[in-house]
Amino acid sequence: MEQTRGAAGRVSRRGFIAASGLGALGAAVPRTARSADAASGAAALGKGKIGDVEVSRLILGTNIITCHMHQRDLWYLKDLSRQYNTDAKILETFAVSEANGVDTFITHDEERVLGLLKEHRQKHGGKMKHFVAPTPAVKEPADYMEVVQRLVDGGASGLYVHGAAVDPLVANGNVKRVGEFIDIIRASGLPAGMACHNLDSLKACLAAKIECDFYLKTFHHLKYPSCPTPEELAADKSDFYRTHRCQERPHGIWCVNPEETAACMAEIMKPWIAYKVMAAGAILPKDAFKYAFDNGADFILAGMFDFQVAEDAKLAGTACIAARERKRPWYA
């Protein structure tokens, strides 16, 4: 979900200032974020629906904000994000996102961030919606039910089973538990979804007739320098690249089979939120957004620093409009 751009993707100083509104947040959206450019970008971005919830086509991701960045071998990045994203800066990111039409946030069950989102809405007049994944550490249905109720009471717009829970459960032959978690979410009355990194996880859940209101699936092309080569992928006997082990070493890939993923999603007539579309910062947004929308994604989830939001909203809006006649119908 995160976005750590190199020199080719760096925004200008003017773009940084315009997007971030560097002064104190106060009780309102930063003045620079209420510009005509932001208004036009918000209008172009467009929206879809997940259940009865209206959601912007570009969704704010959480890993940069919660410091769960996929940093490869750049070990300083988490510390850098932690130092930059103070409470005030996170509040500013929410405000700038809304001003640019990004009206939905997808996050983990993390007390600090959910508290800041509550502050954004109650103290600063924000209307940001949020979808939340209960922590993958919740293993038992009774405990999951308790967490779901707390998140519902906290104002969540939708809930989903975290990919870091789905992939291990499926790999260990416990597809049934994924279905139990989905049923618990659905019983709450909110849209129920599931996320996965491994396409085999999704296929196993579909085969088990586990139906969701929406799906999150990693999706990016393989044409970037740090991507493992076809030979490396073929030679990997441990199935490392096809399982979610991205904290163990910097493998640099989150969707090993994008064409097969697109073909699978083409058969699913439910909203698809594509994530890791930039391969954690290795692919420029303009390229990544176009690839995701052209190949069937209904929404894009992107981790963004505050100064990247305005540019990314415009790029996503342009890519969405250009993909209106794509092969997979829009299911949201």
332 lies in a domain?
no
CATH number at residue 283: 3.20.20.100
pTM of the complete model beyond 0.75? yes
pLDDT in tens, 29-77: 444 444 555 655 556 789 999 999 999 999 999 989 987 777 677 778 8
pLDDT at 264 over 90: yes
Give me the residues paired with residue 5 across strands.
none
1 lies in a domain?
no
Q: How far apart are CA 131 and CA 61, in angstroms?
A: 10
Predicted local distance difference test score (pLDDT) of residue 233: 75
Residue 11 sits at φ, ψ, to 5 deg, of: -80, 160
331 lies in a domain?
no
* Mean pLDDT value of segment 139-159: 97
Q: How far apart are CA 46 and CA 330, in angstroms?
A: 13
106 lies in a domain?
yes
**Is residue 279 helix, strand or coil?**
coil
Residue 97 sits at φ, ψ, to 5 deg, of: -60, -50
Domain that holds residue 246: 7-322
146 lies in a domain?
yes
* Mean pLDDT value of segment 234-260: 67
Predicted local distance difference test score (pLDDT) of residue 157: 98
pLDDT in tens, 199-227: 999 999 999 999 999 999 999 999 998 88
Residue with token string 């005509």: 36
Predicted local distance difference test score (pLDDT) of residue 75: 77
pLDDT in tens, 265-313: 999 999 999 999 999 889 999 999 999 999 999 999 999 999 999 999 9
Dihedral angle of Cα 41, 296, 66, 136, to the nearest 10 degrees: 150
46 lies in a domain?
yes
Q: Which two tokens stand for residue 194?
A: 């599931």
31 lies in a domain?
yes
Number of structural domains the chain divides into: 1
Give me the residues paired with residue 78 across strands.
none
**CA nearest to 268, candidates 199, 320, 316, 221:** 199
101 lies in a domain?
yes
pLDDT at 140 over 80: yes
Q: How far apart are CA 248 and CA 77, in angstroms?
A: 16
Q: How confident is the model at residue 238 (pLDDT cuts 50, 70, 90)?
A: low
Distance of CA 170 to the CA centre of its chain: 21
Q: How confident is the model at residue 5 (pLDDT cuts 50, 70, 90)?
A: very low
